[in-house]
Amino acid sequence: MGRSLVVEADGGSRGNPGVAGWGALVRDAGTGTVLWEGAAPLGKASNNVAEYSGLVAGLTAALRVDPAADVEVRMDSKLVVEQMAGRWKIKHEDMRRLALEARDVASRLSAGGGSVSFTWVPRERNKAADALSNVGMDGRTVDRMVGGAGPGPGAADARRVEEAVEEIIDPTPDDVSLQPATELRPDLGTPARILLVRHGVTEFTEQGRLDGRGGADPSLTEAGRAQAAAAGRATAHLLAGTPARLVTSTLARAVETGAAVADAIGATPVADADWDEQSFGDWDGVAVADLVRNHPDELAALRNDPAYARPGGETHEQLQRRVVAAFERAVAAGGVTVVVCHRKPIMVVLAHLLQLPHETVWRLAAAPGSLTAVEVWADGNASIAFTNRT
């Protein structure tokens, strides 16, 4: 029988697509000792391509350690784990190519008498691979085999492992990234609470027209103002006097809804353009019914392809980058933050927390004037208290 190994892999892109790199390591499953670690730059690539590249490198290293190993792959990318497990489809050509490479290495391990399984882990339990991926994004290449393929590393090998890891990751005494998963300490403190409020309706909402940043920017209708007032009352009821920051997008309908919420909770709103709706470019103001009738293929691409953008507009990936950055700022601030924004930014936050693939995000509902609440702890764990409450 071969050894039991754990592969931890990750990848990242500063821009998505942008400057990319991968990082991975191989541990002895029994002792947690690092046997190999690697990192490399990828030039310009997407996050998903970088994650798959880390997976391929980690499996290849496991094959080098022991060609008959039983390997558990741990990654914080729900997309990669579900696709490699065969539960989700792989649509993009670059990802499909890398997935085939990973499956080829997995089949070689299986042919030697080993096996490969895939496990999703929270980001906080993948810190070592994440740190190595940043080394790759910084332009450095690491390929360090420490333990080898024997029955297990001795004391000298173990010391070299720790020195190698410290050189790359430089952990602090409180860093748990190199501890076995069972030793991770959960955060039992007070989470940051984010209340997401969708704006009330405008004429465009009522007419079923696309309405992104850079478009006509209509104001609330009478019905929209009533929804904004109701959202304010509901927010005040939920907060029950708890102090909260209030952030809105820069678009008129969110600013006006935010003013109603501000009156109800006694807060001063601050506008943040990162919470704006996606820009639909030359389709801003166009009725969805007309697009269904006249441009069904392009509309399907806008919904299903995160890299597709209309002329003058944004891709979903661009929207996702700015919204997640704004969300993480709100979480880092702690306490309670009320964010008045739009349907797609709310979808992005929920998909980010639930690790949903792009093709399923449209299943998340956020009605005009609705409230969605999430809680995030310092260890990265999160809870979605409720969604789409009106």
Mind telling me the catalytic residues? 199, 277
User: How far are the Cα atoms of 53, 135, 177 from residue 41, in angstroms, in the given order?
Assistant: 10, 8, 22
**β pairing state of 245-248 and 336-341:** parallel
Neighbours of 96 (CB within 10 A): 13
Tell me if the bond preceding 17 is cis, omega within 30° of 0: yes
Strands, E, within the chain: which ranges? 4-14, 18-28, 34-45, 70-75, 115-120, 142-145, 192-198, 245-248, 269-271, 336-341, 371-376, 382-389
Whether residue 161 contacts residue 33, with contact meaning beta carbons closer than 8 Å, is answered with: yes
φ/ψ of residue 337, rounded to 5: -125, 125
Q: How far is CA 315 from the centre of its chain?
A: 16
Q: What is the 3-state secondary structure (H, E, C) of 276-300?
A: CCCCCHHHCCCEHHHHHHHCHHHHH
C-beta separation of 53 from 35 below 8 A = no
Q: How many Å apart are CA 390 and CA 68, to the nearest integer?
A: 56
Rama region for 312: left / alpha / beta (φ>0; ψ in -120 to 50; rest): left
Coil, strand or helix at 245: strand
d(CA 245, CA 98): 44
CA atoms within 13 A on the CB side of 223: 7
Q: Which residues contact 101 (CB under 8 A, 6 or more apart)?
A: 56
Spatial distance between the Cα atoms of 228 and 200, rounded to a whole number of angstroms: 5
Contact 176, 183 (CB under 8 A): yes
